[in-house]
Chain A
Amino acid sequence: MMPSAGHPTPTPATLTSPSFTPNLMQPGAHSTRVDRPLQGAILTRSRWCAVMGVLLLLSLILIMLCLQLGTQYIGIGHLVELLSSALVGTASEPDAYRTTGVILLQVRLPRVLLGFLVGGCLAAVGVALQALMRNPLADPYVLGVSSGAALGVAIAVLFGIGTTVLALSLLPVCGFAGSLVALLVIYRMAASYDRLPIHSVLLAGVILNAIFSALIMFITSIMEPNRSFGMMAWLMGSLTAPAYPVLIALAGYLLVGLVLLLKQVRVLNILALGEEPARSLGIDTERTKRVMFLLSALMTGAVVSFSGMIGFVGMIIPHAVRLVVGADHRLLLPASTLVGGMFLMVTDTLARTLFVPSEVPVGVITALAGGPFFVYLLVWRKDRLA
């Protein structure tokens, strides 16, 4: 610390040594008094661990619960027994267990896990897009990113890429290409203004959605009728139990995406302040935006190619989580991921149990829950959406 003189002191030898006056910078007893105001007002490591611990525990409990429910109820003892025997790989199981075992392990477990993954990723992408666009209403579905991905997948299906087993991994790539197109349009718009007015972003999303839906409808109508029916069910957003190798591949892919998103959380905090403050704090905003848009497109593309257009998860969940845990993305992003996973897992359980033997596409339920919430935000909370 430099002593302060009455005159402007000669400038120090480096650019980066601020010279605060000593009376403001007394270490020791003074500092403890001064630091106290921050207690409770900022996110600390311990609060982070507490919240994430609770959410992880809650996720596990809900996963177990969702595994129990279905056309056939599986008791908790039975469930644990089946899961542990599957983990250990016991060959000799009683005949009575076999059918329930198949239902649980081949149908219910992969579907529940897929729901968790998809919901988590949609929420995480929602958080990222909201911070990037500085728009609390941003969501891959609302912005037309999901329908872009769906168009990519629909084109792939039309040309028969999706039907071959070998090319299964190509569908996410086509979805990625489609969502990238949508994000590029939005990125161009966002680049030409400092900050897009919220309603312009929504309008852009409406237009993109209209164009992409028209193209998707065109594709489905020239398809063979039996394929177009499956297409429609998928478009509404529905989860079907994937094979384990596919599930593992998807999980790996999405986890990498999540980790890369998590690496940007502190930067996202500062981007939420505004473009210029972020740049003046030394952030390469253009590069960050490109990276984040690319990651969002990759994740949305993969998710949509598996589960169709499940709407509003990316908007409701970050909103709700932000109200509870605060706006710091270091906690908001991972917490939203877990809550989004839980949310979609539970809604999908409702979708497959409420109207047995019929099954409702889960996208119908999320849209019915999310649409009114969206309207509520637009109409009654517009003071917050300056």
Chain B
Amino acid sequence: MSSRGQDDTTIENGGDGTHVHTYDLRGVHFRYGRPSGLDGGWVLRDVTLQVQPGEMLGIVGPNGSGKTSLLKLLAKLAAPQSGDITLFGRHLAGLSQEETAQTIAFVPQEHAQLFPFTVAETVLMGRFPHRQRSRWSFGFGWEDQDDCHAAAQAMATMDITHLAERLVTDLSGGERQRTMIARALAQKPRLLLLDEPTAFLDLQHQLDICSVLRRLRDEQELTVVIVSHDLNLASQYCTRIVMLKDGRIAAIGTPSEVLSVETLRDVYGCTVLIDAHPESGLPRITLPGPSLPVHV
């Protein structure tokens, strides 16, 4: 592992066997705005976490546990008050906006679009960080062949090629989510960060999105970090899970390590049933029925 604190500009050399984490977070504290309350109002406290290349990391936890805030820190949409975040061995804060945008793609929680862009236009927006800057482009920056190619490819990957001419205002939730992920893929990032990609989607679309993400990780060596409410999806699709409670990491590890009755009782305050998934053998979480005593 490369020692931190060395020259910021050196970028890891993959050839000599040194191993550099994709992300390396050390003692990260974060809050929005000014300190408040007795405990300082921290949203995230002392988060130390490494993300490995090619991982599919799930961030889970109860409401208000800091999941989305952690994702925003990773996406450089917010900066920690203290602690240190490095990306491929370089300080995240030291990267230019452009470099960040060419490396990290961020898909926010799904929300309705108000302007009638076509799906193809929306996906092409992901090419913005790769735009050609020239004196005469005059802010118009027409997309070139490479841009169109990357967008078409991203659309094919997300299986929305047939929607190209549709307006994003007319799409269903699942189609819109796939469009937004395609937009992120057109960015040709090395990291894909998604906030609740399966929220508000029906079962079929949840499975679709998750299997596509898993495939992207496998085929394109993309590192994927998702925030999810759905412990079962996280268990089946994530290679590793971080569980947050009140802004602290309560558990971290493979789904089998993290998703235990004790941990969940500790974090969520309720007792659930956990058995093995009939196909994958990974933990499967079931809510207790009404006849069972809630507290054991």
Contacts and interface: CB of A to CB of B under 8 A. Distances in A.
24 contacts: A15-B95, A15-B103, A16-B99, A16-B102, A21-B220, A34-B149, A34-B156, A37-B162, A40-B165, A136-B115, A264-B139, A265-B139, A266-B139, A266-B141, A269-B125, A272-B117, A274-B111, A276-B72, A280-B75, A280-B76, A280-B106, A281-B187, A330-B140, A386-B114
Q: Which of A266, A281, A322, A384 has the most CB of B within 10 A?
A: A281
A261 to B, nearest CB: 9
Q: Which of B107, B108, B189 has the most CB of A within 10 A?
A: B108
B53 to A, nearest CB: 5
Contacts of A328: 117, 121
B152 A41 contact: no
B224 to A, nearest CB: 13
Contacts of A19: 190, 220-221
A330 B121 CA distance: 12
Interface string A24-68: 110000010011111011111100000000000000000000000
A37 B152 contact: yes
Nearest to B218: A21
Contacts of A16: 99, 102-103
B126 to A, nearest CB: 7
Contact of B115 (A24, A37, A282, A327): A327
Contacts of B220: 18-21, 24
Contact of B108 (A14, A15, A20, A274): A274
Contacts of A386: 111-112, 114
Interface in B104-126: 104-108, 111-122, 124-126
Interface stretch (A2-10, A97-105, A169-177): A2-10
A266 B90 contact: no
Interface residues of B, number: 76
State the main secondary structure of chain A at its contact with B.
loop
B106 A277 contact: yes
Given A11-B88, A267-B139, A41 B128 contact: no
Contacts of B221: 4, 8-9, 19, 21
A11 B152 contact: no
A327 B120 CA distance: 12
Nearest to A21: B219
Contacts of B87: 15
Interface residues of A, number: 60
A255 to B, nearest CB: 14
Interface string B134-146: 0000111111010
A294 to B, nearest CB: 16
B12 interface: yes
B164 interface: yes
A326 interface: yes
Contacts of B113: 273
A14 B11 contact: yes
Contact of A385 (B53, B114, B128): B114
Interface string A281-292: 111100000000
B279 interface: no
B63 interface: no
Interface stretch (B13-21, B225-233, B241-249): B13-21
Contacts of A44: 142
Given A35-B145, A267-B139, A384-B114, 6 more contacts: A34-B153, A38-B151, A136-B115, A280-B76, A284-B97, A327-B121
B62 interface: no
Nearest to B89: A11
Interface of B: 11-15, 20, 52-54, 72, 75-77, 87-88, 90, 95, 97-108, 111-122, 124-126, 128-129, 131, 138-143, 145, 148-149, 151-153, 155-157, 161-162, 164-165, 169, 180, 183, 187-190, 219-221
A328 B129 CA distance: 18
A270 interface: yes
B104 A280 contact: yes
A19 B14 CA distance: 14
B140 A11 contact: no
Contacts of B165: 40-41
Contact of A269 (B90, B117, B138): B117
A280 B186 CA distance: 13
A-B residue pairs, 3 tightest by C-beta: A10-B14, A282-B101, A41-B120
A111 interface: no
Given A15-B99, A21-B219, A136 B114 contact: yes
B188 A35 contact: no
A25 B131 CA distance: 20
A135 interface: yes
B12 A384 contact: no
A35 B95 contact: no
A225 interface: no
B254 to A, nearest CB: 17
A43 B121 contact: yes
A277 B189 contact: no
Given A15-B11, A34-B153, A41 B121 contact: yes
A288 B165 CA distance: 29
B140 A266 contact: yes
A270 B103 CA distance: 18
A262 B140 CA distance: 8
Contacts of B118: 41-42, 326
Contacts of B90: 15
Contacts of A264: 139
Q: Which of A8, A264, A274 has the most CB of B within 10 A?
A: A8
B129 A281 contact: yes
A263 interface: yes
B164 to A, nearest CB: 4
A269 B12 CA distance: 36
